[in-house]
Amino acid sequence: MSRPEQSPPPVGERIHLPGPSVQPVLVALALTLMLMGLVGLWFLTAIGSVLMVFVVVRWIIAARREYLDLPARHD
């Protein structure tokens, strides 16, 4: 059996793409600081941990806000 072909989206329908974000870079920086702290500078681990928690919480808030802005129905 063949599947019925899906029709293309209606003209003018908005396609959602996430905007640019600095959060991935900050997570990488925080992880680098945490790993450098494990080598010998313990205060870098503390700074990296605080930065990691802050950035991840902000990232989740931004993602949730984007999700709530999407239309109610997706076909």
Confidence of residue 75 (pLDDT cuts 50, 70, 90): low
10-64 pLDDT, tens digit per residue, is 666 667 677 788 999 999 999 999 999 998 888 999 999 999 999 999 999 998 9
CB-based contact 44:33 (threshold 8 Å): yes
Report the C-alpha gap between 33 and 66 in whole angstroms. Answer: 29
Question: Model confidence at 8, in pLDDT bands (50, 70, 90)?
Answer: low
Q: Residue 23 — φ and ψ, nearest 5°?
A: -60, -40
pLDDT, position 19: 79
DSSP tag of 70 = S
- What's the distance, CA 74 to chain centroid? 21
What is the domain partition of the chain in residue ranges?
Answer: 23-69
Residue 14: per-residue pLDDT: 67
